[in-house]
Structure 1
Amino acid sequence: MTRSAGHLIVKTLETHGVQRVYAVPGESYLDVLDGLHDSTIETVVCRHEGGAGYMALAEGRLGGTPGIAMVTRGPGAANAMIAVHTAWQDATALVLFVGLIPVADRGRDAFQEFSLEGWFSTTAKRVMVLEDPDRASEMVAEAIHLARSGRPGPVVVGLPEDVLVRTTAAPALTPRPLPSLVPAAFDVDHLMERLALADKPLIVVGGDGWTGDTGERLLDFASSANVPVAADWRAYDAVPHRGPAWAGWLGYGRADTLAARLDEADLLVFIGCGRADVLSDGYTRGLDTETILVLADTSATMHDGRLDRHVFATPSALVDALPVGSAADSPAAGTRGPAWMDALAADQRRFATPAPDGGDAVDRGTAVDLGIAFGELERALPADRVLTYGAGNATLWGHRYLSHTQPNSLVGPRNGAMGLAVPAAVAASLTFPDRQAVAICGDGDFFMNAQELSVCFAHGGTPLVLVVDNGIYGTIVQHQRNHYPGRPSGTAMTNPDFAAWMRSFGGHGEYVSSTEEFAPALERALASGLPALLHLRTDPATMGPSPVAAPSLAAAAVSE
């Protein structure tokens, strides 16, 4: 069978199980768009290349296969760069296809010409350019395999428009199997021995790839071994938030108590993540503690400090190899009782439970009390909800008060990029149409990609968007107050009525100006069956939830 290289690319995406591509169309890859016309793959037309990249990233994190984004040359590729950087730092599988100028036009500063490798080589696992139509399927298969294998990440594929229309008889390849990253028996034995000898061990989970019951089984193992389990920043869905072993999360907005416990631990076991910048409070915590790293990354990228043993395995392979049993017969428990684990679990329960009145005075402020509002949200949302976040202080309320009971239920930029919440929620709603997707973002974050809500009305998604509006770039204002008090500069915003804007699309939108209005508005939004938005007016003086320190650690706690 003979077909164009562009059509072969589409067919290869089909054989790899791709269900959607997120695209901003461009003349440089028209033949691929033509191939998508008759394809089983849904083409999700986005309004901005950054939004398309973010949607693909969200699907890559939630759906098990790399997210696929398609953009055009020059300006389109530039706009998509933010998603590539996010996928790179977050270790999330993503394949970005970029249309390019014809081969014959290279090197003459042709219209929208740029260096694909020059732009992306430092923020992608590999940059490829299609030069031979006979290799079109091979290149797609290689890109998807690379994005998924080892430390997941972004792969960028350039598609010169003249190569795409050339014909080829090459077949559409099927997926290459991933390497089996099973831990060696002696590595598992060593882990059991070190856990048994430790007085205050701590397991830290993170990264992507926590699918099925992997997190639940790890938590059961940890509970039987009296080992607390904490999560890396924005990897909270790795394990369910239940039972005696769940200890909370590290990173921005974390509990002071857990940060102090990290310093106190005598053995750290990282699974799926390393001791990175945010987790360690800027490379200041736990760097000299005995460390076992379980990570499918030979170079241990983004791990800093002591490393006593590197187990080259995926989280699921490690959990498959762990012994199961009760505390009475667990080889990892040693003589350690549950006191250490129970203390961390108690710290987390105290930290994650909103006070009945919304907390102390610094939380309440005026307008909507987010302590109360997010407590209501936790009670109202179904257990299988998918939460998406942008960046900024507004997200800390969700991190603290919203729980996760299932894997593949959180998308948030671990690199702190703004603008992800809305497109990620749209993609989550398309990926899991029977689950409630909820975007949590500040007013600055929301308007960076708010236009992607239009995709819901074209493709059927029904996310709920919560916009926390304090009229400022809150995180930067907080830094200004700390370092340049009394000198606000470049951080104020003027906002429209976001709810009215949502209604203009045909969705459900409400402006919420008081705490009492929130619960009824939330109920109406969830019952609407439409894409919905709640515009929450909040006090600009309230920067985030108040820190809570356990009495036993009050002296050791540090301010958030």
Structure 2
Amino acid sequence: MPSLSAGHLIVRQLEEHGVARVYTVPGESFLDVLDGLHDSSIDTVVCRHEGGAGFMALAESRLTGTPGVAMVTRGPGAANAMIAVHTAWQDATPMVLFVGLIPLTDRGRGAFQEFSLEGWFGTTAKQVMVLDDERRAAETVAAAMRLAVSGRPGPVIIGLPEDVLVRTAGTGTVPLRAPADAEPASRALGELVSRLARAERPLLIVGGDGWTADDGGQLAAWAAAARIPVAADFRSYDAVPHLSPAWSGWLGYGRADTLAGRLDEADLLLFVGCARTDVLSDGYTRGLAAETLLVLQDPEAAGHAGRIDLHIPAAPAAFVAALPQPGAARGSRSGAWMEALAADQARYSVPAADGGTGVDLGTAFGLLEELLPENRILTYGAGNATIWGARYLSHHGAGSLVGPRNGAMGLAVPAAVAASLIHPGRRVVAVCGDGDFMMNAQELAVAAARKAAPLIIVADNGGYGTIVAHQRRHYPHRPSGTALDNPDFAGLIRSFGGHGERVEETADFGPALERALGSGRLALLHLITDPATMAPDTSNAAGTATGSTAGSTAPEPAAAGGNR
């Protein structure tokens, strides 16, 4: 076999890791890698903005379990990709970002687009690597892919100096090194089960990445048999199936006040795949005193607040595989506690009309729940519009949701495009506000070019709704810097050859949705909504949690997981 350049060997090593797609905005700084992709089995997805490329890579990771890979150029390209790196960092999602760099011979001279890779990404990546030695090309890629999924998962950055890429690097890839996957020790599992058996009001909270439909389904079934209600962390709603009798809703922005109250009542909390963070705990105000069991791959439990009585450093799959029979964890506990939480959530998830002018989103999302197939994939950006989807659209297995847990706007569209490429046979729906949609609407060009057919729902209230709600509370009658004057989004999608409709009345939504779903094309429904309706009322579930002060310290309804 002839020797390969470093750029070509990087591609070979990615193939060895089973990478199916790379998402890129091309740059002259990594031309040799692009040339290596020309004859590769890897699909090169050419994006329109580096932020969109990064978000697509993040979606790839969430939906496939393989670290998503993005490639961007130096300086401005790397700057544009930063939002996706920050999202992967805070969300603990594995990703590898390749960044083309200036030649080694020009380093430190203020050359065109020169910047400090470590300075930019050093605090938002697990590691920043620079390929200064072409002979280590394959080794560097293998190390990055392994590091991205080890411990607390996250993004890894690889800098590629332009002149190093074209140097002869060798002929062979390096063997894959599987990450250490600790299995729960029998002694620790025994203690966990004993603690669960003694608890009267336990609550299991699932979250994070790495779930499969089998893992989530098995854990939900085990919890139901052990009479333990199951809730999800913010934007992890798909970890377990919602049809489970143990399903109790989600915590974080938009959660039911009843569930927040139950968090205060619980005498034991079992976290699997996630930690007790500020969002989950309503700003470090709930569930801090309860006995706490933590099943988290990260041995440092980074980001976890409050007590830890037992920490099992294992991934969800390993924990689920090691679980004993549920009877041992049930003890003498009746099913009343679990049934009460499930009933709370059942009431909370029944679509209710919001009232007001324009399209009523409560009614609209109720119709979406009825008409979408069970294996749908939902993608979200950030902002108030996402709360209707989280509340009224159910999930039936892991790998059916991509959304930013860090509140980054602009993820919904690129994630939907990526999901449509990864799973062309499944219905993909992006839920966006008008502000969120315009953050990365340019990636619809990728969907059009690839004949991908996601459905984009844009709820248009003419403003950055989350900030409007905060302004109304803190600076009443003084709107400032939040109004949006929007174009015809339906016309935009038609310009890409897709199906687009503007919907101004609730009665028109159902027929429009049926036409969009039946079009077989990229589709968008532009819903004109009442600017006065900020988000569904989190306190409208019938009944309250006994003995709690449900809602007393809840985040403002407008804080829908977004920065706008």
TM-score of the pair, normalised by structure 1 = 0.97
1:173 CA displacement: 2.3
Q: Give the equivalent residue in structure 2 for 1:87.
A: 88
The answer to whether structure 1 residue 551 and structure 2 residue 543 are counterparts is: yes
- For residues 66-465 of structure 1, what are the structure 2 equivalents within 5 Å? 66-324=67-325, 330-355=327-352, 358=353, 363-465=354-456
Counterpart CA distance in 2 for 1:550 and 1:338 is 20
Kindly provide the amino acid, as one letter, of the partner of residue 338 in structure 2: M
Q: Give the equivalent residue in structure 2 for 1:517.
A: 508
Counterpart CA distance in 2 for 1:291 and 1:348 is 23
Q: Give the equivalent residue in structure 2 for 1:539.
A: 530
Superposed CA deviations along residues 44-88 of structure 1, whole A, max 9, x for unmatched, are 000000000000000011111000000000000000000000000
Q: Give the equivalent residue in structure 2 for 1:498.
A: 489
Aligned-partner SS, 1:408:
coil
Superposed CA deviations along residues 483-509 of structure 1, whole A, max 9, x for unmatched, are 111111100000000000100110110
1:354 CA displacement: 1.1
Counterpart CA distance in 1 for 2:100 and 2:516 is 40
Aligned-partner SS, 1:213:
helix
1:557 CA displacement: 1.8
1:3 CA displacement: 1.0
1:552 CA displacement: 4.0
Counterpart CA distance in 2 for 1:174 and 1:523 is 50
Assess if the C-alpha contact under 8 Å between 2:259 and 2:545 holds in 1: no
Q: Give the equivalent residue in structure 1 for 2:472.
A: 481
CA RMSD across the alignment: 1.0
Aligned-partner SS, 2:123:
coil
Aligned-partner SS, 1:151:
coil
Superposed CA deviations along residues 494-547 of structure 1, whole A, max 9, x for unmatched, are 000000010011011000101011111111111111110000000000001122
Assess if the C-alpha contact under 8 Å between 2:98 and 2:159 holds in 1: yes
Assess if the C-alpha contact under 8 Å between 1:137 and 1:170 holds in 2: no
Superposed CA deviations along residues 380-430 of structure 1, whole A, max 9, x for unmatched, are 101000000000000000000000001100000000000000000000000
Counterpart CA distance in 2 for 1:173 and 1:53 is 26
Superposed CA deviations along residues 239-274 of structure 1, whole A, max 9, x for unmatched, are 000122100000000000000000000000000000
Assess if the C-alpha contact under 8 Å between 1:549 and 1:557 holds in 2: no
Aligned-partner SS, 1:458:
helix
Assess if the C-alpha contact under 8 Å between 2:544 and 2:550 holds in 1: no
Assess if the C-alpha contact under 8 Å between 1:221 and 1:323 holds in 2: no
Kindly provide the amino acid, as one letter, of the partner of residue 34 in structure 1: D
1:170 CA displacement: 4.3
1:175 CA displacement: 2.4
Kindly provide the amino acid, as one letter, of the partner of residue 289 in structure 1: A
Aligned residue pairs: how many?
A: 550
Unaligned runs of 5+ in 1: none
Kindly provide the amino acid, as one letter, of the partner of residue 51 in structure 1: G
Superposed CA deviations along residues 126-182 of structure 1, whole A, max 9, x for unmatched, are 000001111000000111111111211000000000000001224112421121211
Aligned-partner SS, 2:248:
strand
Counterpart CA distance in 1 for 2:88 and 2:300 is 18
Counterpart CA distance in 2 for 1:180 and 1:228 is 27
Aligned-partner SS, 1:384:
coil
Counterpart CA distance in 2 for 1:158 and 1:526 is 43
1:465 CA displacement: 0.2
Counterpart CA distance in 2 for 1:128 and 1:150 is 18
Assess if the C-alpha contact under 8 Å between 1:44 and 1:459 holds in 2: no
Kindly provide the amino acid, as one letter, of the partner of residue 373 in structure 1: A
The structure 1 segments of at least 4 consecutive aligned residues displaced by more than 3 Å after TM superposition are 552-555
Aligned-partner SS, 2:533:
coil
Q: Percent identity among equivalent residues?
A: 68
Counterpart CA distance in 1 for 2:422 and 2:397 is 15
Q: Give the equivalent residue in structure 2 for 1:12.
A: 13
Kindly provide the amino acid, as one letter, of the partner of residue 540 in structure 1: P
Aligned-partner SS, 1:238:
coil
Counterpart CA distance in 1 for 2:494 and 2:32 is 37
Counterpart CA distance in 1 for 2:315 and 2:59 is 20
The answer to whether structure 1 residue 469 and structure 2 residue 470 are counterparts is: no
Counterpart CA distance in 2 for 1:104 and 1:277 is 46
Counterpart CA distance in 2 for 1:60 and 1:223 is 29
1:289 CA displacement: 1.0
Kindly provide the amino acid, as one letter, of the partner of residue 186 in structure 2: A
Assess if the C-alpha contact under 8 Å between 1:464 and 1:531 holds in 2: yes
Kindly provide the amino acid, as one letter, of the partner of residue 404 in structure 1: H
Counterpart CA distance in 2 for 1:552 and 1:534 is 36
Superposed CA deviations along residues 451-471 of structure 1, whole A, max 9, x for unmatched, are 000001222311000000000
TM-score of the pair, normalised by structure 2 = 0.96
Assess if the C-alpha contact under 8 Å between 1:134 and 1:170 holds in 2: no
Counterpart CA distance in 2 for 1:240 and 1:149 is 26
Kindly provide the amino acid, as one letter, of the partner of residue 434 in structure 2: D
Between 1:457-466 and 1:374-383, the stretch displaced more is 457-466
Kindly provide the amino acid, as one letter, of the partner of residue 54 in structure 1: F
